Amino acid sequence: MEYQNSLDFAKQLDKEDSLANFRQKFHIPKDDNGNEWLYFTGNSLGLQPKITQQYIQQELDDWAKYGVEGHFMAKNPWMPYHEFLTEPMARIVGAKPIEVVVMNTLTTNLHLLMTSFYQPTKTKYKIVIESDAFPSDRYAVQSQLAIHGFDANEGLIEWKPREGEELLQIEDLEQILNDQGDEIALLLIGGVNYYTGQYLDLKKIAELAHAKQCFVGIDLAHGAGNIQPNLHESGVDFAAWCTYKYLNSGPGSLSGIFVHEKHAYNKELPRFAGWWNHNKETRFNMRQPFNVMPGAEGWQLSNPPILSMAAIRASLTIFDGVGMNALRKKSLLLTGYFEYLLQQIDSENIKIITPKNPEERGCQLSIQVKNADKKLHQKLTEKNVITDWREPDVIRCAPVPLYNSFEDVFNMVTILKTLI
C-alpha cells in the first residue's frame, strides 16, 4: 500500500476499514472536556468493551438470585464456567482446546508450569531467558533456580542482542544451545518482547531447544490477541499469557495457559494438585484419591473467580466476532501506517527499535527518542496522547486494531512531531 501523509488519507483508510465499527464497542477514555484520548497503551491495559458490564452483571444477578445454586442454576453455570472460555481462547493462540485453560494470573502460572517443565539435574539445570525479559519473568526464573538449590545468577543464561543492537538474533540462541545445550534444562522466552516489540520465531526456537533436549516455555503476555502464535504447530511445550493487555479483560484479570498436546496424558509430570485438576466426574465425591485430568485443565488448582471470567467471556465474544486473521490483517496496515508517518518526521533523534519486518512484530512500535527524557512522555499525556515510557528514552506505542483508528495514528504522530 502506498501511504500518504495527510489527515484526509487517514480518514479514507478508516472509511475503507471493515473493522472500523468495532471501535464503538469500547469505552474510549476522554478528558474533562469530552475529548477522546489517543489511547496507545492497549499493550499495557486494554480498553473496556461496553458489553463487559452486562456480562459481569449477569453473574452478580445470578449470585443474588441463586446463591450457591448458581454453580448449576446460573444462566451460565459456574461449575463449568471456565470451559466457556477454552475454545475461543484456543482460537486466539492457535491451539487445540485440550491444550488451553484460563486460570490464576500470569506469573503464578509460569511457576506452576515450571514446576512441571523445569526438572533440573546436577548437570542439566540452566535456564535461558532473553536479556531484556520482563522483570517478573526474570525474578520467577531466578527463584526457580534458587529453590532447586542453584545459584540464581550462575544458572541463568541471557540471550542478548549483539553489541550496539537492540534486537535478538536466532543464530545467537543457536550458538548458546550449541555451546551449553547439555547444561540447559529450560528456555523461558517472551514470544513478543515487551520492550522492543520483537516477535520471535517460536517454531524455530522449539526446534533448536528440543534438539538439545531442553523444554521451551513462551510468555505470550504481549502476543495473545496481537499476533498469531500458532502454538500447537510451533511445538513449544508450554505458554502463558495475561488477559488484561490485548485481550481487554480488565485490570489484573486471569491468565491463559497452553500445554502442548504431547504432554496432555503424561500423568508422571511433577505438578501441584488441588480439587480443580482432579477428575471432574468424581470431584464432588470428595473422598476419591487424586486423579489428574488430561490436558491443560490438569494444571488448575482452585475453583476460579467467575466475575473476572465474565469479563474475559465478554472480550472473547468480540474476538470471535472479528477473527484473528482479519484482526492481524488490519493490524499490519495500521502499524505500517504508523511506521510510515514516523519515518516522515524529519529528525535524526527518532529511531524505531522494533523490527522493520512486519512478520517479526505485532502492533507495537517502540520509538527511541535521543536526548529525550520523561518530560516528553508527560507532554504527550498533557495532549491526551497516552503512551508508555521506558527508561532511558523509549516510548512504546501500540495502535490496537480493535479500537484504534488510522486517524488516531495520524493525530498522534502530528502531536509527537510538534514536541520533538
Ligand X SMILES: *Cc1c(COP(=O)(O)O)cnc(C)c1O
Residues that bind ligand X (CB under 6 A): 105-107, 134, 136-137, 190, 194, 219, 221-222, 242
For residue 209, give the H/E element and its range: helix 202-211
Closer to ligand X by Cβ: residue 114 or 350: 114
R_g of the chain computed on alpha carbons: 22
Instruction: State the minimum distance, in angstroms, from the CB of residue 241 to ligand X.
Output: 8
Parallel, antiparallel, or unpaired for β 350-352 and 365-369? antiparallel
Task: List strand residue ranges (DSSP E) for 270-418, in order.
Answer: 350-352, 365-369, 385-386, 388-390, 394-397
Instruction: State the minimum distance, in angstroms, from the CB of residue 256 to ligand X.
Output: 11
| 184 touches 127 (CB < 8 A) | yes
Instruction: State the minimum distance, in angstroms, from the CB of residue 148 to ligand X.
Output: 21
Closer to ligand X by Cβ: residue 26 or 134: 134
Distance CA 24, CA 209 (A): 44
Closer to ligand X by Cβ: residue 221 or 416: 221
Q: Which three cell numbers stand for residue 99?
A: 491444550
Instruction: State the minimum distance, in angstroms, from the CB of residue 192 to ligand X.
Output: 9
In a 13 Å sphere around the CA of 110, the CA atoms on its Cβ side amount to: 26
SS3 of residue 96 by DSSP: coil
Closer to ligand X by Cβ: residue 190 or 362: 190
Instruction: State the minimum distance, in angstroms, from the CB of residue 236 to ligand X.
Output: 15
Phi and psi angles of residue 369, each rounded to the nearest 5 degrees, phi first: -115, 105
Q: What is the DSSP string of 161-192?
A: --TT--S--HHHHHHHHHHHGGGEEEEEEESB
> Which residue, 336, 292, 250, 300, is CA-closest to 56?
250
> Which residue, 363, 368, 338, 339, is CA-closest to 353?
368
Instruction: State the minimum distance, in angstroms, from the CB of residue 298 to ligand X.
Output: 21
Instruction: State the minimum distance, in angstroms, from the CB of residue 50 to ligand X.
Output: 24
Instruction: State the minimum distance, in angstroms, from the CB of residue 273 to ligand X.
Output: 22
Instruction: State the minimum distance, in angstroms, from the CB of residue 246 to ligand X.
Output: 10
Closer to ligand X by Cβ: residue 3 or 258: 258
Closer to ligand X by Cβ: residue 194 or 299: 194
Closer to ligand X by Cβ: residue 112 or 176: 112
> Which residue, 59, 113, 61, is CA-closest to 238?
113
Closer to ligand X by Cβ: residue 134 or 338: 134
Closer to ligand X by Cβ: residue 3 or 134: 134
Residue 415 exposed, middle or buried by CB count within 10 Å (0-12, 13-18, 19+): middle
Distance CA 50, CA 311 (A): 10
Q: Which three cell numbers stand for residue 362?
A: 505485532
* Cα–chain center distance at 240: 8
At position 120, the amino acid (one-letter code) is P
| 229 touches 220 (CB < 8 A) | yes
Which residues does 360 contact at the CB level (< 8 Å), separation at least 6? 198, 199, 200
Instruction: State the minimum distance, in angstroms, from the CB of residue 217 to ligand X.
Output: 12
Closer to ligand X by Cβ: residue 102 or 293: 102
Closer to ligand X by Cβ: residue 42 or 190: 190
In a 13 Å sphere around the CA of 8, the CA atoms on its Cβ side amount to: 0
DSSP character at residue 299: G
Instruction: State the minimum distance, in angstroms, from the CB of residue 318 to ligand X.
Output: 21
